[in-house]
Amino acid sequence: MTALAWFLVAFAALLGLIIGSFLNVVIYRVPAGIPLTRPSQCPHCDAPVRPWQNVPVLSWLLLRGKCANCTSPISVRYPLVELATGGAFAGVVWMLLGNDAFRLASFAQRPEGGALAFALIAIAFLYLAAISIALTMIDLDTRRLPNAIVLPSYVVLAVLFTGACLAGAPWEALLRAAVGGAALFAFYWVLRFAKPGGMGGGDVKLAGVLGMALGWVGWGTLIVGAFAAFLVGGVIGIGMMLAHRATRKTAIPFGPFMVLGAWIGIVAGESIARWYTGLLGVS
């Protein structure tokens, strides 16, 4: 990686910290139906949050996790979401610039696509990282995946992927994204009606969004990403039962596993698929 590439990774980390601060607002307000435009205030004493108290991570450390006005505690979860978003953004840009499997699958087939196609693909996966974190936290908090986040994501990804193709990225990737979105949506839709009470309607709608992103990268990514969700969900479910944190009847939200599975697919799906077809002697 070049010096410019490392600069872009560092820039993405900083951007992620700021977006993470916004995601904290989204995670709290979207399920509660509070407008995102309202100024932030302390939930205990209603004191407005001043700009210097709104710097990601640093403000929480300087305030030692307490409201400056009423000293009621501010959850450590706020700086953790900011750090996670910063790390995820840096990881996405690093992967796009440095991961051969990912570039081979989605972008470098037509390297003449150039900087604009690269930027649009990067924005698409940074957006996916942001909603992944927001939806994971909201699903853990409320067992819901709000339409207000999931449904516009179809449009955002479709516009960015189409733009990337117009700028030179391969059209096959867009076709795979469309097929991947439809296939994963249909798969979860069948699961929902085959076993009532298993999947929620939000899971079905999220599956289409994740399928688009997975399909864009490659077929191997789509298959690995789809099945990794059930593998990770099964392992963690059994682990929780062994630790007596859950029984067979405990309703564990599935959205976080779908998101985690998708990212396993995006990061390692093409490599895993090639290794597996190599084992079978197919290729």
Measured CA to CA, the distance from residue 190 to residue 208 in angstroms comes to 13
3-state DSSP call for residue 40?
coil
251 binds Zn ion (CB under 5 A): no
CB of 44 to Zn ion, least distance (A): 4
Measured CA to CA, the distance from residue 5 to residue 201 in angstroms comes to 40
- Cβ nearer to Zn ion, comparing 48 with 152: 48
Alpha helices per DSSP H over the chain: 3-32, 58-62, 77-98, 100-106, 114-142, 147-166, 171-194, 201-217, 219-242, 255-280
Q: Compute how many residues bind Zn ion; rule: CB under 5 A.
A: 7
Query: 260 and 229 in contact (C-beta within 8 Å)?
Result: yes
- Cβ nearer to Zn ion, comparing 42 with 80: 42
Contact region with Zn ion (CB under 5 A), list: 32-40, 44-52, 113-121, 140-148: 44-52
- Cβ nearer to Zn ion, comparing 49 with 116: 49
45 binds Zn ion (CB under 5 A): yes
CB of 43 to Zn ion, least distance (A): 8
148 binds Zn ion (CB under 5 A): no
Measured CA to CA, the distance from residue 145 to residue 138 in angstroms comes to 7
Contacting residue, 44, 50, 66, 245, with Zn ion by CB under 5 A? 44
**Scanning residues 55 to 84, which ones bind Zn ion (CB under 5 A)?**
67, 69-70
40 binds Zn ion (CB under 5 A): no
- Cβ nearer to Zn ion, comparing 54 with 109: 54
Nearest CA to 102 out of 272, 281, 246 is that of: 272
Contact region with Zn ion (CB under 5 A), list: 10-18, 26-34, 40-48, 122-130: 40-48
Nearest CA to 269 out of 224, 208, 237, 229 is that of: 224
- Cβ nearer to Zn ion, comparing 53 with 85: 53
42 binds Zn ion (CB under 5 A): yes
